[in-house]
Amino acid sequence: MDQIDELILRETPDQASAIAVIDAPGLVERALEIAADVRVWCDDVRDAELVDEDLLVEHPEDLAGVDLAWGHLPKSLAALDQQAASIQGAQDVTFITGGRVKHMSKSMNEVLGKHFTAVNATRGHKKSRALRAWGPANLPTDWPKARHNEVLDLTIVAHGSTFSGTKLDAGTRLLLDNLAVDGPRVLDFGSGNGVIAAFLARLGLEVEARDVSWSAVAATLETAKANDVDVHATWVAGIDDYADAALDAIVTNPPFHQGTTKDSTDTLDMFRAARRVLRPGGQLWCVYNSHLPYRRFLNEHVGPTRVVAQDRAYTVVVSENQGS
Ligand SMILES: C[S@@+](CC[C@H](N)C(=O)[O-])C[C@H]1O[C@@H](n2cnc3c(N)ncnc32)[C@H](O)[C@@H]1O
């Protein structure tokens, strides 16, 4: 349990018959002491791996009908909206969700106010605070959302936590405008809404996609379906489980955050693993914020790396694997 978990428990009613635990694996044990029906949903596969498989639900909508829900506040308002919509269904439900004060905004109360008749904020404790919402409005969920992107002529589908939602990220657009990939077997690493994967699949390539986020993997599959292309998407972190020389290319707009913290660790780990996982001569295509020192790292860890395109914000590079 962390400080946010402790704060949530302080605010919790003594009794509940069904509890939803959202993105908060540290609270599962306590939930099992209170209720016979405990349902856990985690967006990040690394959180899900901390929880007994039997307690995990497959889809956020499987949380519907609980009378108490605990959560860690997500980064995006859209993610909070989907969580609040998913736990509706019972005659009454109380949702207690906490986070670090510096990551909280008034808009979070407004999002909860759409789904509940009452919302208040607890007093701060050790730089954390919880929001408590009750009185479900029972609005039907409108997740996932879809939008047609005219530039690419692709429909993009997103869940609440999906990076960039149904929009085409500006860095991703620069990458796709300049991409020339040799296949057939290509991985979209960190697939988000699946726009890169769908774009590659439309070119006739064999496309695999992976992401740590459930919302991303679900969105990737739904984007592929909406565009009538085949993509094999996996909910997993990193690429360490691939066999040597398995892939002809990796295409990525890689992560630069872990939750609310700026962090390139996952990206650098993936770059390090790429030399083994790509066949000799295979390519890693990557777009990143131009201030990041990735080019030198890619030169050193994958192979010769050249800049393919650059604008004021982003750089697109391709690295050729020289083998070990
Ligand atoms: C910058 S977003 C790009 C999303 C999408 N490809 C696009 O271009 O819009 C990076 C994605 O990487 C995912 N991610 C973060 N860490 C990861 C890891 N260790 N393994 C796989 N995916 C990861 C994030 O969930 C996020 O969806």
Q: Same structural domain for residues 278 and 239?
A: yes
Q: What is the pLDDT of residue 13?
A: 81
Q: Same structural domain for residues 123 and 150?
A: no
Res 257 pLDDT > 90? no
Q: Same structural domain for residues 176 and 313?
A: yes
Q: Same structural domain for residues 122 and 162?
A: no
Q: Is 196 left (phi over 0), alpha (psi -120 to 50) or beta?
A: alpha
- In angstroms, rounded to a whole number, what is the distance separating the alpha carbons of residues 275 and 284? 9
- In angstroms, rounded to a whole number, what is the distance separating the alpha carbons of residues 8 and 128? 10
- 54 CA distance to ligand 1 centroid (A)? 27
Write the residue with the smallest CA distance to atom 1 of ligand 1.
255
3-class DSSP state for residue 81?
Answer: helix
Q: For 86-126, what is each residue's pLDDT tens digit?
A: 999 999 999 999 999 999 999 999 999 999 999 999 888 88
Taking residues 128-142, report their average pLDDT: 94
Q: Same structural domain for residues 172 and 118?
A: no
Q: How confident is the model at residue 261 (pLDDT cuts 50, 70, 90)?
A: low
pTM of the model: 0.96
Q: Where are the alpha helices (DSSP H) in the chain?
A: 3-10, 28-34, 45-48, 77-86, 106-115, 170-177, 195-202, 214-226, 265-277, 294-301
Q: What is the pLDDT of residue 277?
A: 98
What CATH number is associated with residue 70?
Answer: 3.40.50.150
Q: For 32-85, what is each residue's pLDDT tens digit?
A: 999 999 999 999 999 999 999 999 999 999 999 999 999 999 999 999 999 999
- Which range marks the domain in which residue 183 is found? 145-320
- 287 CA distance to ligand 1 centroid (A)? 12
- 193 CA distance to ligand 1 centroid (A)? 9
What is the total count of domains within the chain? 2
Q: Same structural domain for residues 202 and 291?
A: yes
Q: Same structural domain for residues 165 and 130?
A: no
